[in-house]
Chain A
């Protein structure tokens, strides 16, 4: 199985900060990576698919990049609604696997 490792596990930031989360795959997954945002008690929400494509309705302050084994999710200017946990997921091969999550907290 492909292992997905996110860093950091927790991130403290302020409104307006630029935030970057990294996701590394244990083997190449091409560009077959998604990013999700999850708030407590809610289902995850798709932000990015195919590493860099923004899902419909997602604010443009979110962006994704990378290919192969290293990927990043960037929030260009952190907003109050963005404090949440973020997960990456590979869908290059079965079984699909998620990273362990990155919690973005208020500094």
Chain B
């Protein structure tokens, strides 16, 4: 059974940093591209970032490029999102999802709140 489990969310002050993680099981992690998608409270879905299976290729949404960094540790079947210079508008549930195209498996999400 494929499982994705995010962690690391919490309350952070504007301008601060946070790293969220996603541990994956049930499939060969290093063969799969992965993505982060977020959802602000009461709002729609926003694609944040994607990474290739090898970790060599990455891409970002316009609103986070230059502040967020996606990475992965294939030996630990773990996906990461390092978030720097956080703003109030980054407040959202952050989901990890399989694939760079249609996302067939999703985690349950972790809430990141940016507030003073």
Contacts and interface: CB of A to CB of B under 8 A. Distances in A.
B104 A98 contact: no
Contacts of B50: 94, 96
B45 A101 contact: yes
Interface centre among A32, A45, A46, A95 (most CB of B within 10 A): A95
Interface in B52-77: 59-62
B47 A43 contact: no
B47 A95 contact: yes
B59 A43 contact: no
Interface SS of chain A: loop
A100 B109 CA distance: 19
A101 B102 contact: no
Interface in B15-65: 35, 37, 44-47, 50, 59-62
B100 to A, nearest CB: 7
A44 B106 contact: yes
Given A43-B107, A89-B47, A100-B44, A94 B102 contact: no
A96 to B, nearest CB: 4
A97 B44 CA distance: 11
B82 interface: no
Interface residues of B, number: 21
**A interface bracket (residues with beta carbon within 8 Å of B):** 20 to 34
Contacts of B101: 32, 34, 49, 91, 96
A47 to B, nearest CB: 10
B106 A95 contact: no
Given A87-B45, A97-B47, A101-B44, A43 B102 contact: no
A34 B95 contact: no
B108 interface: yes
A95 B59 contact: yes
A82 interface: no
Contact of B106 (A32, A43, A100): A43
- 9 A-B pairs with the lowest CB-CB distances in the bound complex, closest first: A49-B102, A43-B106, A34-B102, A96-B47, A91-B101, A94-B59, A98-B45, A95-B61, A101-B44
Contact of A91 (B60, B102, B108): B102
